[in-house]
Chains A and B, each alone.
Chain A
């Protein structure tokens, strides 16, 4: 797999580490309650197909990225800087 970092260009996936579903951008409020936190920390949609995930370019520019990827074919779609994705949220 090769990942197109918006800052560094297309790089070998070995330069990145994986943090799972891009759910971390939807962190519940501190007082959201046990169920919301359990869901956030543990439960996953775990789709077979397109998903959004967090990758960290630790051996490159050290950016957090939100990448679209197909879990069945390993094909990547759009890769964006996490700060842009987060900033764009209402």
Chain B
């Protein structure tokens, strides 16, 4: 089934009876050419690009819950290419370009909205840092504009511009950044992979990884053993547990990140806005809810819900920036498990086990990476060689100290990012 305006019109007039399920619900086969563990955004895009770019269609995605039950359905949907270090710079730039053609490629409405991101700054020092970042973005081939006070006021009239402690000095405007509908991204990749023959197997938890003489043979699951010569683990917050099944310890600590949504309001914020004093960012969804969040809770957690101190901090910051938000009710809040690495950047690499590949360490920024991550992971699994834009994201960079990507310049240590 292909989606088109005509099809929507026809279905609308005939009671929407002609829509069919977006993907099959197959039982696992005894063997595949490749297995992807984890049906989140990254696992699904890996499967999609393995099929599309490398012609590998005898593959399965094994998901312990349902498609979209992990972080891919829990994030605040921001897409951007404003990273600045060698490695991250090329990768996120590539990802944004893939986002720009994604809906046409998938024939799926992912509600990609390049509404622009404005990072506010509130001091001369922050202005210098924004100017430096803007230059780096431009030199990597992406877009950046440094806005002065007056321009920010014109674009974002509802903010508290003259807060005595944190006056707004200006903003870094990244026009091609924005948001996309997170669930639709998962569904679009799932449908695209399924259409190319990939088996998406839900309610199938991987419980063991079979390795013989240093070579991967397949996996044990709650739905039986499945053989494959290539296995990629793409399980985000659960990376340490799955790696442990292969006898590996990863440089990852799982932390909790919360998000909040207000009741539906009339349009008041057109862009994604980040507050430079205290960690808080915000956008408005198409339903009118203000979607906002802040920093990690900063303790290891698998709870998928956080605690009140972080919620309070985020609310305070939101009030400081947009006082009218105080009248709105928070409808929902939730948390997701973040696979944090010491330097705050991700890992896409082979391992010492032949045929076993790792895709992990997405920290709190893996949504924007979904297309490029799958693209590069598929390239690695199919060819055995890292893709050009992900060749820096090696697993051994912590041990050697070479090629660390510490975007925040805080040091490569757990609990600093």
The answer to whether A and B come from one shared complex is: yes
Chain A interface (Cβ < 8 Å from any Cβ of B): 1, 12-14, 18-21, 34-35, 38-39, 41-48, 51, 53, 69, 71-74
Interface residue SS majority, chain A: mixed
B251 at the interface (CB under 8 A from A): yes
Q: B231 → chain A, closest Cβ, in Å?
A: 20
* CB-based contact B300/A45 at 8 Å: no
Note all chain B residues with C-beta closer than 8 A to A71: 254, 300-303
Q: A29 → chain B, closest Cβ, in Å?
A: 18
Partner of B251, one of A1, A42, A73: A42
> Roughly how many angstroms separate A46 CA and B254 CA in the complex, as a whole number?
7
B268 at the interface (CB under 8 A from A): no
> Given A42-B342, A43-B249, A44-B253, does the pair A20, B415 have CB atoms closer than 8 Å?
yes
B241 at the interface (CB under 8 A from A): yes
* CB-based contact A73/B303 at 8 Å: yes
B14 at the interface (CB under 8 A from A): no
B252 at the interface (CB under 8 A from A): yes
B20 at the interface (CB under 8 A from A): no
Partner of A44, one of B250, B299, B399: B250
* CB-based contact A45/B414 at 8 Å: no
Taking CB as reference atom, which chain A residue is nearest B305? A74
Note all chain A residues with C-beta closer than 8 A to B252: 44, 46
B3 at the interface (CB under 8 A from A): no
* CB-based contact B398/A38 at 8 Å: yes
* 19 A/B residue pairs, CB under 8 Å, sorted by A: A1-B299, A13-B309, A20-B253, A20-B414, A21-B253, A34-B399, A38-B399, A39-B249, A42-B398, A42-B399, A43-B251, A44-B240, A44-B249, A44-B250, A45-B244, A46-B300, A47-B240, A53-B299, A74-B307
Of residues 250 to 276 in B, which have CB atoms within 8 Å of A's CB atoms?
250-254
> Given A44-B251, A44-B252, A46-B253, does the pair A20, B303 have CB atoms closer than 8 Å?
no
Note all chain A residues with C-beta closer than 8 A to B302: 48, 71-72
* CB-based contact B399/A14 at 8 Å: no
Supplied contacts A18-B299, A21-B300, A44-B240, 8 more A-B pairs, CB within 8 Å: A1-B299, A13-B309, A38-B399, A42-B342, A45-B240, A46-B300, A48-B254, A69-B299
Interface residue SS majority, chain B: mixed
Partner of A72, one of B249, B303, B398: B303
* CB-based contact A41/B413 at 8 Å: yes
> Roughly how many angstroms separate A21 CA and B414 CA in the complex, as a whole number?
10
> Roughly how many angstroms separate A18 CA and B254 CA in the complex, as a whole number?
14
> Roughly how many angstroms separate A53 CA and B302 CA in the complex, as a whole number?
15
Partner of A14, one of B309, B398, B414: B309
Q: A11 → chain B, closest Cβ, in Å?
A: 13
Note all chain A residues with C-beta closer than 8 A to B249: 39, 43-45
Taking CB as reference atom, which chain A residue is nearest B243? A46
Of residues 382 to 401 in B, which have CB atoms within 8 Å of A's CB atoms?
398-399
Of residues 212 to 264 in B, which have CB atoms within 8 Å of A's CB atoms?
238, 240-241, 244, 249-254
Q: B276 → chain A, closest Cβ, in Å?
A: 23
> Roughly how many angstroms separate A12 CA and B298 CA in the complex, as a whole number?
15
Taking CB as reference atom, which chain B residue is nearest A1? B307
Q: A55 → chain B, closest Cβ, in Å?
A: 9
Taking CB as reference atom, which chain B residue is nearest A14? B309
> Roughly how many angstroms separate A53 CA and B250 CA in the complex, as a whole number?
18
* CB-based contact B240/A46 at 8 Å: yes
Of residues 301 to 321 in B, which have CB atoms within 8 Å of A's CB atoms?
301-303, 307, 309
Taking CB as reference atom, which chain A residue is nearest B313? A14
> Roughly how many angstroms separate A5 CA and B253 CA in the complex, as a whole number?
24
